[in-house]
DNA sequence: AACGAGACCTGGCAGC
DNA sequence: TGCTGCCAGGTCTCGT
């Protein structure tokens, strides 16, 4: 599920847990992308959750002695339960709080991660080399234009590079490029400064729109098996191969770029 | 430095 | 019904 808006929506939904104290931790399956540290079931109980933040698609739960870092991979989701319920097949990790709440990580494909960081989390290898957050001021057309000068790969691949900017996943890469009127196949270094301005603006707008839709469906999102409302939102191009472009009516095309599907309108998007 | 392929996993679905 | 092959929202690691 998780692109940036989903992760941020998840974070906001979990904020009521800040200040709560952990009662126990259950690890049912340690084999996610990296093994879940075995010591967590001793380390975490009795610690208070001090803050819950996000960097890129990583959720950072700060405790007295360290930071728990969570990533949802391709298929992960976090459910916040009012009280304990029977675990299902892919429920790998639980945090039970003293007030009865249970944070439960479900991840069928197990591309997600649960890691424990000591010291400054931003110095961890996974976080230290990340690009700016797309919704913050550090990311704009000038930055984008500067960064892509040396990049000859297709612009769609380049905006998905987390070292350049974080949080642009496969859906929103296609959507942002459509909204900016830019062909996904265009070599990144061919983009003019004005088109970089436009692209940066549309990346922000696309993510903000998804965030606004996600925020309005928080309750569903955190139900036992609810889906985020914007899952059903109507995309301009994503998943719409052969259907009429919402702007000009031309059939939407799909291609493969770096093993991932890309969707675009051949009339609205230009080289 | 930058690029692309491969890797990690399971589940759902179309087609035979 | 069951099999096969393909598809899926991420991203690190490695060889070129």
Taking the CA of residue A190 and the C1' sugar atom of nucleotide B12, their distance in angstroms comes to 39
What is the CA angle A161-A260-A29, rounded to 5?
Answer: 80
Strand ranges of the sheet holding A51-55, from the earlier edge strand across to the other edge: A51-55, A58-63, A66-71, A113-117
Nucleotides of strand C under 7 angstroms from a protein beta carbon: 7-13
Taking the CA of residue A162 and the C1' sugar atom of nucleotide C13, their distance in angstroms comes to 15
User: How far apart, in whole angstroms, are the C-alpha atoms of residue A172 and residue A135?
Assistant: 13
Of A2-11, A36-45, A174-183, the poorest mean pLDDT is in A2-11
Query: Average pLDDT, whole number, for chain A?
Result: 93
- What's residue A2's pLDDT? 87
- What's residue A1's pLDDT? 67
- What's residue A91's pLDDT? 96
- What's residue A214's pLDDT? 77
Q: What is the pLDDT of residues A213-265, one digit of tens each?
A: 875 544 444 543 344 444 456 799 999 999 999 999 999 999 999 999 999 99
Nearest of A46, A74, A70 to residue A60 by alpha carbon? A70
Q: Which nucleotide lies nearest residue A126, CA to C1'?
A: C12
Per-residue pLDDT, averaged over A172-199, amounts to 98
> Is A143 (CB) below 7 Å from strand B?
no
Residues of A identified as active-site = 2-3, 57, 260
Taking the CA of residue A126 and the C1' sugar atom of nucleotide B14, their distance in angstroms comes to 38
Cα-Cα-Cα-Cα torsion A104, A125, A177, A200, nearest 10 degrees, comes to 110
- What's residue A39's pLDDT? 97
- What's residue A226's pLDDT? 43
Q: DSSP character for A31?
A: B
A19 dihedral zone (left: phi>0; alpha: psi -120 to 50; beta): left
Taking the CA of residue A188 and the C1' sugar atom of nucleotide C2, their distance in angstroms comes to 47
Q: What is the pLDDT of residues A97-130, one digit of tens each?
A: 999 999 999 999 999 999 999 999 999 999 999 9
Query: Residue A86: which residues within 8 A CB-CB, separation 6 or more?
Result: none
Per-residue pLDDT, averaged over A178-196, amounts to 98
CA end-to-end span of chain A? 30
User: How far apart, in whole angstroms, are the C-alpha atoms of residue A12 and residue A212?
Assistant: 12
**Protein residues bordering strand C (Cβ below 7 A):** A 1-3, 6, 33, 56-57, 71, 73-74, 109, 111, 125-126, 162, 169-171, 228, 231, 259-261
Per-residue pLDDT, averaged over A15-41, amounts to 97
């Amino acid at each position: 599920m998780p692109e940036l808006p989903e992760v941020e929506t998840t974070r906001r939904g979990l904020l009521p847990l800040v200040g709560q104290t952990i009662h126990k931790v259950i690890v049912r399956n340690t084999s996610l992308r990296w093994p879940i540290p075995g010591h967590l079931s001793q380390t975490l109980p009795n610690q208070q959750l001090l803050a819950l933040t996000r960097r890129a698609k990583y959720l950072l739960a700060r405790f007295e002695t360290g930071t728990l870092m969570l990533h949802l991979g391709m298929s992960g989701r976090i459910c916040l339960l009012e009280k304990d319920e029977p675990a299902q097949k892919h429920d790998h990790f639980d945090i039970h709080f003293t007030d009865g709440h249970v944070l439960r990580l479900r991840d069928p494909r197990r591309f997600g991660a649960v890691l424990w960081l000591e010291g400054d989390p931003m110095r961890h290898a996974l976080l230290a080399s990340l690009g700016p957050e797309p919704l913050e001021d550090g990311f704009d057309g000038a930055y984008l234009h500067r960064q892509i000068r040396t990049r000859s790969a297709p612009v769609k691949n380049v905006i998905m590079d987390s070292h350049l900017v974080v949080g642009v996943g496969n859906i929103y890469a296609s959507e942002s490029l459509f909204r900016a009127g830019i062909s996904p196949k265009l070599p990144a270094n061919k983009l003019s400064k004005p088109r970089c301005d436009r692209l940066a603006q549309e990346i922000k707008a696309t993510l903000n729109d998804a965030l606004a839709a996600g925020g309005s469906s928080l309750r569903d999102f955190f139900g036992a098996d609810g889906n985020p409302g914007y899952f059903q939102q109507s995309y301009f191009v994503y998943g719409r191969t052969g259907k009429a472009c919402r702007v000009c009516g031309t059939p939407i095309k799909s291609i493969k770029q770096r093993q991932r599907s890309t969707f675009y309108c051949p009339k609205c998007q230009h080289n």
